[in-house]
Amino acid sequence: MSTRDADQPEPTDAPAEPGFEELGITGSVLSAIRELGYETPSPIQRATIPTLLSGRDVVGMAQTGTGKTAAFALPILERLDTARKIPQALVLAPTRELALQVAEAFESYATQMPDVRLLPVYGGQGYGVQLSALRRGVQIVVGTPGRVMDHLAKGTLDLSELDYLVLDEADEMLKMGFAEDVEQILSQTPEEKQVALFSATMPPQIRRIAQQYLRDPEEISVKSKTATNANITQRYLVVSYAQKVDALTRILEVENFDGMIVFVRTKNETETLAEKLRARGYSAAAINGDIPQNLRERTVNQLKEAKLDILVATDVAARGLDVERISHVVNFDIPTDTESYVHRIGRTGRAGRTGDAISFITPRERYLLGHIEKATRQQPTQMQLPTAEDVNSTRLARFDDAITEALQDTGRLDVYRDVIAHYVRNHDVPEVDVAAALAIVAQGDQPLLLEAGDDALAAAVARDNRPPRERTGGREQREDRPPRRGRGDYEPYRIEVGRRHRVEPRQIVGALANEGGLGRDDFGAIAIRPDFSIVELPAGLDRRVLEKLRDTRISGKLIEIKPDRGAPGRRPQRDGDRRSYDGGRDRRDDRGDERPARKPRHRRD
């Protein structure tokens, strides 16, 4: 395996850096990336693209945010045979979020290749859509290991003629317990294929996979040099996906902003979120790659002229956007690619101005904070969701300002004084009551103030948004973990994989979290038996989540999840026989059902 450092400085007499055309990218792919504004390849793209185009395997040591998606996607599209409607390329990603982002990147690079058929496959999405697409024929599949394994087991995904395989974020797949699934997938692909493996770190297991499944790969190492302007304040809020819209609405109420861009992951989400914001009284519009250029320009001009306050956009649509009014950028969906993150927040704080960047991070995405800090060389500050009292204070202040402004209009004020005096004389009502009634008329059905006593949203977000380290009863808790729920908050479920299938708690957590959209805090104790396991999940688990989990496979075996109706002793115990999941760390004491208890030793007198 030869090694090359893509960050090594060029000789002083070296020619100018090559463009994508010099690297071997041509035709429709070259036109598409030029339209996206790509001009100069990043270090990993310069090092990787020619190597992959030559047919050689690659091991890329690259942090998230170095531009590696284009580094493997462009060569695949360049060499794809669009006449063949069979899977020619497979990209494995550890999470559905990354799989979707990679799929969207492929789509943006293939905008001028109408015959390219691409399919993301991941847990949580119904099989119907995926099966229909596979029957029609796809050339590129981007998926999570668990769902790819499901399709292989069902016989609905044929990899027998695969030409290209990419393992993206291989170390993250390892951490989530997918190593065995990845190896099983690799074993079902043709021997004659090109493999690219990308990983931020290179633990022994990743290196073993590279040595076993890659043929004389070139190892390319790059480091991200990305940094952001110091005049951009970076904050983040940990919030679950279901609460994002309400959380954004609260922030908009209390944050003093001028113009704002809200970034989402997909084209459909731009329209959906813009519509929800308009329904809440905000001046918002969507821009994405499907919107005609003339309409996009008109929308941007409205933002510049303060006829529009909020732009909901995808990365592609906002590329190169420079509007002086943009005081805030909100990452409604945080990108896993830190290069995209830096480009996004760079829409504010331009030309020496100050700016604010707020990122919504779900509990499962906390690991991205470390990537962001490395890429930007700044540590984002954790923020708290504005409370109902904060919102009420802001609303009352604005109400006061509106009254004060109206009092300045003396001409119209004299007219309305006469109207109010006429009403008071004829109905014998105090003027203060008339003023209150007029406020009701002006406010309409929307209450002026929130109910501060029962703030369910703030409580829910606060639960996800706990400080990294919190003292509880004199014991320091692990980062990201709120206090354990009580026993009544969990119910036991049986899955048909156990110790003889070499299953570990982290594999169970990784598979169920990916397929069912569960968070780390949704798992109680996990007891692994010889032939099955008992997993504690939240009481009253949504039926739709269970439906998503029914076809999940771990270590290639269908788990057949169902509520556990066995004897109480089979249930994982907090203080006895169990393996518990604790943020990726196992705690094992599972000998109770396998070995007789030791007899007490007797002292010899």
The pLDDT tens digits for 202-219 are 888 888 888 888 998 999
- Considering the chain, what percentage of its residues have pLDDT values greater than 90? 30
The single residue listed with the structure tokens 């002229």 is 305
* Range 486-499 average pLDDT: 78
Residue 602 pLDDT level (bands cut at 50, 70, 90)? very low
The pLDDT value recorded for residue 520 is 63
The DSSP bridge partners found for residue 89 are 140, 164
Residue predicted with more confidence, 363 or 245? 245
531 three-state secondary structure: coil
Question: With 80 as the cut, is the pLDDT of residue 228 above it?
Answer: no
3-state helix, strand, coil in the chain (%, to 5): 40, 15, 40
Question: With 90 as the cut, is the pLDDT of residue 435 above it?
Answer: no
pLDDT digits (tens, 9 = 90+) for 235-258: 999 998 888 999 999 999 888 888
Q: What is the bridge-based pairing of β-strands 578-582 and 525-528? A: antiparallel
* Range 324-331 average pLDDT: 91
Question: With 60 as the cut, is the pLDDT of residue 183 above it?
Answer: yes
| 113 within 8 A of 77, measured Cβ to Cβ | yes
Residue predicted with more confidence, 335 or 238? 238
Question: With 90 as the cut, is the pLDDT of residue 540 above it?
Answer: no
Residue predicted with more confidence, 479 or 380? 380
Q: What is the bridge-based pairing of β-strands 525-528 and 533-538? A: antiparallel
The pLDDT value recorded for residue 321 is 73
The DSSP bridge partners found for residue 221 are 5, 61
Residue predicted with more confidence, 6 or 55? 55
Distance CA 95, CA 100 (A): 9
The pLDDT value recorded for residue 290 is 77
Among 188, 114, 118, 117, smallest CA distance to 150 is for 188
The pLDDT value recorded for residue 593 is 34
The pLDDT value recorded for residue 109 is 93
**573 burial type by CB count under 10 A (0-12 exposed, 13-18 middle, 19+ buried):** middle
| 375 within 8 A of 225, measured Cβ to Cβ | no
Residue 17 pLDDT level (bands cut at 50, 70, 90)? low
436 three-state secondary structure: helix
The pLDDT value recorded for residue 553 is 83
Question: With 70 as the cut, is the pLDDT of residue 301 above it?
Answer: yes
- What mean pLDDT, rounded, does the chain reach? 79
Contacting residues for 139 by C-beta, under 8 A, at least 6 apart: 80, 81, 82, 84, 85, 86, 87, 88, 89, 116, 117, 118
Domains and CATH numbers, the chain: 2-221 (3.40.50.300), 232-386 (3.40.50.300), 389-443 (no CATH), 485-589 (3.30.70.330)
pLDDT digits (tens, 9 = 90+) for 271-287: 999 999 999 889 999 98
Question: With 80 as the cut, is the pLDDT of residue 471 above it?
Answer: no
The DSSP bridge partners found for residue 495 are 533
Instruction: State how far Cα 205 lies from the chain centre.
Output: 26
The pLDDT value recorded for residue 332 is 95
Question: With 90 as the cut, is the pLDDT of residue 57 above it?
Answer: yes
- Range ranked top by mean pLDDT from 128-142, 305-319, 567-581: 128-142
* Range 68-91 average pLDDT: 94
Distance CA 139, CA 82 (A): 7
The pTM of this model reads 0.49
For 263, the enclosing helix (H) or strand (E) is strand 259-263
Tokens standing for residue 498: 């156990």
The pLDDT value recorded for residue 19 is 86
Both ends of the chain: CA-CA distance in Å?
Answer: 67
* Range 94-115 average pLDDT: 88
The pLDDT value recorded for residue 466 is 62
The pLDDT value recorded for residue 234 is 93
The pLDDT value recorded for residue 351 is 60
Residue 495 pLDDT level (bands cut at 50, 70, 90)? very high
The pLDDT value recorded for residue 172 is 81
The pLDDT value recorded for residue 193 is 94
The pLDDT value recorded for residue 115 is 92
- Considering the chain, what percentage of its residues have pLDDT values greater than 70? 80
